[in-house]
Amino acid sequence: MTSVKALMLLAVMAVAACQPSGPELGPDGKPLPQVYQITSKVGKEIPGRVLEAVNSLRAARGTAPVALNPQLMAAAAAHSQDMAQQNRPWHWGSDGSSPLDRARRQGFTGEVVGENISETYETETETLSAWMSLADTRDVILNPSATEMGFAWYQEPSGKIWWTMVTGHN
């Protein structure tokens, strides 16, 4: 009977040793990023989740909500893909275009209030949180003159995501 208990104890210990002890850490001691794979199902949900989060943040500041705008969504999507092709996050397109130029190309006739961009492996929620932690990007999200928003991304095969948010008003 003792040998059966010993075998069971060894089996439990063997299984426990196979369990991960936590996230893999990088040289800075922080967990290495995990790939956030945007499936078609998740991709359909992202704009609504971001809109809801943005409007919650705006409501907490007493600012009117924004609505998704198809032209700004298209401008954001085009810029996300262009940044990936350039392999650099910046506000100018590979053709020298500005956020206003890209919005106009998509048929937006209003005023562009601002643009936030990001190159990351983080989710849309983590990206929004990072933008809220900096005054200049937070101002784009909370600007009271914004009434419309476009939000889009491009995900590379490696998993890296290029996020773009454009706000404006008509």
Element (H, E) at 118: strand 111-120
Listed in sequence order, the residues at least 6 apart from 145 whose beta carbon sits closer than 8 Å to its beta carbon are: 111, 113, 169
Within the chain, residue ranges assigned H as helices are 2-18, 40-60, 70-86, 99-105, 124-132, 135-142
Whether residue 159 is predicted with pLDDT greater than 90 in this model: the reply is yes
Q: Provide mean pLDDT across the span 111-133.
A: 96
Whether residue 12 has pLDDT greater than 50: no
- Give the mean pLDDT of 115-136: 96
Cα gap 146→67, rounded to integer Å = 9
Spell out the domains of the chain, with CATH numbers in brackets.
66-169 (3.40.33.10)
pLDDT number for residue 36 = 87
120/35 Cα distance (integer angstroms): 10
Count of CA atoms in the C-beta half-sphere (13 A) of 121:
9
Which position has the higher pLDDT, 162 or 34? 162
Cα–Cα distance for residue pair 28/95, rounded to 1 Å: 37
Whether the full predicted model's pTM is greater than 0.85, yes or no, is no
DSSP letter, residue 31 = B
- Is the pLDDT confidence value at 10 over 60? no
| pLDDT bucket at 21, cuts 50 / 70 / 90 | low
- Paired with 155 in beta bridges are 161
Which pLDDT score, from 0 to 100, does residue 29 have? 86
Are the CB atoms for 56 and 62 separated by under 8 Å?
no
What pLDDT does 140 receive? 98
pLDDT at position 23: 75
Tokens of 153: 């991304």
Give residue 133's pLDDT: 97
26 to each of 31, 32, 59, 121, 125, how far by Cα in Å? 6, 5, 38, 15, 22
Task: Please give the Cα distance from 94 to 79 (Å, whole number).
Answer: 9
Q: What is the pLDDT of residues 72-114, one digit of tens each?
A: 999 999 999 999 999 989 999 999 999 999 999 999 999 999 9
pLDDT value at residue 2: 60
